[in-house]
Amino acid sequence: MRLPGSDDDKNRMSPHLLTALVSAGVVILLILAVVIGSNRKPSASGSGAGSAQSPSPGASGEETVPARPSDQGPVPAEEVEVGDLHPSDLDFWDLYPNLNQEQTLDTVPVEQVKPDAIPMEENDPSTDGKHTLVILPDGSEEWVVLSQQIPRNDYDYTNLTAQGDFMTYYVDGHKASYLGVDVSENQEYIDFASVKKAGIDFCMIRAGIRGYSTGTLSVDKYFEDNLKRANEAGLSVGLYFTSQALTEEEAKEEAQLILDRIGDLRVDYPIVIDMGYVENDSARIEGLTREEKTKVTKAFLDAVKEAGYHGMIKGTKEWLIKEIDLTKLSSADIWLDQHQDLPDYPYAFTMWQYKQSGKVDGISGYVGLDLCFIDYTAK
């Protein structure tokens, strides 16, 4: 006995639903047949029952399009029927050349460059960690790729503190820097005892200059007096020369001018070559190549080293990165000339001129202020 509501009643399909499904299936089959038939190309032979006959020449005043031989390349787009397309017909990348080892995107005409040969846009140089911004002498900017051959500095500038014009660098809560001034005849007479009492640890004294137009050598008017009295005041002392040497011989001449005048006085900080362009005027070194300026610098440093002193290069960020090749001057320390709150020079440096218009007791007028990150008296 079958009870109302049993499973058999639930699973039985109603006649109306069955009829609807069958009708829908028939309609779908008919649509497929129409689509397939419309895409089928008529037989080219004209034989067989129901085959369409191609009109013969002259029958209707029109000529049939002859079959395109296979050796004449792809069928033009206007002659292609949908049913004739093959993957090879869509291979239009063959129209573009592949770049060989001698070619670059600069040597191949734009219209011949294959789209996949165009490199993807690089990351933003200001954030990719692979570039540094350099301000060129004409005021323009350039992002320069960082060298992997030059050691980087690892200073943590959050450890810098400033009290007035004086800056200090700390490591693990302990002072790890030395405060200095750089002086010349421009400061005239200096009371070095008062400078020492003000908290200055060392003094960089200009020994001389070479004229940027005539090339004439000149000893700084206060050089020997400054060196003697700084020694007497107990200040550590380094020396620098403002160079405009065109040759290695001139660079050695500049170094020798310093060495001949030191005598038995104490120089425990580096002897520095300060080579650069002149603001608002032309300098005699402007015609030198980067390689030539590097050779001149090295000649000065070698002469200093042979005499038993420590050599150093002073320069702006632009000079150090663009004008000389530091990979060939790795034995020299760097005195960075960058007057701002925090330096952005990426490579290693041991001394930083952070201010050019500082005020220090014992010195009338303005003076350059420097921070040194190592104790040269212990070297």
The residue that leads in pLDDT, 167 or 45, is 167
Q: Are 97 and 104 in contact (CB under 8 A)?
A: no
The C-alpha angle 204, 208, 212, rounded to 5 degrees, equals 120
Q: What does the pLDDT read at residue 121?
A: 53
Q: Band of the pLDDT at 185, cuts 50, 70, 90?
A: very high
- Residue 6 in domain: no
Q: Are residues 178 and 104 part of one domain?
A: no
Last residue of a domain, one of 103, 122, 141: 122
Q: Are residues 293 and 234 part of one domain?
A: yes
Q: Are residues 195 and 268 part of one domain?
A: yes
Q: Are residues 372 and 291 part of one domain?
A: yes
**How many domains would you assign to the chain?**
2
- Residue 255 in domain: yes
- The rounded distance, in Å, linking the Cα atoms of 286 and 291 is 13
DSSP string across 314-362: EE-HHIIIIIS-GGG-TTSEEEEE--SSS----B--SEEEEEEEE--TT
- Residue 64 in domain: no
- The rounded distance, in Å, linking the Cα atoms of 330 and 151 is 9
Q: Are residues 165 and 115 part of one domain?
A: no
Q: What is the pLDDT of residues 323-357, one digit of tens each?
A: 999 999 998 999 999 998 899 999 999 999 999 99
All residues at 6 or more sequence positions from 56 whose CB lies less than 8 Å from its CB, including other chains: none
Q: Are residues 158 and 101 part of one domain?
A: no
Q: Are residues 317 and 271 part of one domain?
A: yes
Q: What does the pLDDT read at residue 83?
A: 52
- Residue 58 in domain: no
Q: Which residues constitute the domain of residue 301? A: 151-378
Strands 351-358 and 271-275: unpaired
Q: What does the pLDDT read at residue 30?
A: 72
Last residue of a domain, one of 83, 102, 122: 122
Q: Which two tokens stand for residue 88?
A: 């090879």
Q: Are residues 110 and 157 part of one domain?
A: no
Radius of gyration of the chain (CA): 42
Q: Are 137 and 323 in contact (CB under 8 A)?
A: no
Q: What is the pLDDT of residues 21-37, one digit of tens each?
A: 667 676 677 777 666 66
The residue that leads in pLDDT, 204 or 76, is 204
Q: Are residues 308 and 168 part of one domain?
A: yes
Q: What is the pLDDT of residues 122-150, one digit of tens each?
A: 579 989 989 999 999 888 999 999 999 99
Q: Band of the pLDDT at 279, cuts 50, 70, 90?
A: confident
Q: What does the pLDDT read at residue 52?
A: 39
Q: What is the pLDDT of residues 207-248, one digit of tens each?
A: 999 999 999 999 999 999 999 999 999 999 999 999 999 999
- The rounded distance, in Å, linking the Cα atoms of 239 and 307 is 14
- The rounded distance, in Å, linking the Cα atoms of 205 and 181 is 8
Nearest to 254 by CA among 226, 277, 273: 273
Last residue of a domain, one of 70, 102, 122: 122
- Residue 130 in domain: no
- The rounded distance, in Å, linking the Cα atoms of 343 and 337 is 9
- Residue 25 in domain: no
Q: Are residues 232 and 99 part of one domain?
A: no
Q: What does the pLDDT read at residue 45?
A: 41
Q: Are residues 171 and 103 part of one domain?
A: no
Q: Are residues 221 and 105 part of one domain?
A: no
Percent of the chain predicted with pLDDT > 90: 63
- Residue 68 in domain: no
- Residue 134 in domain: no
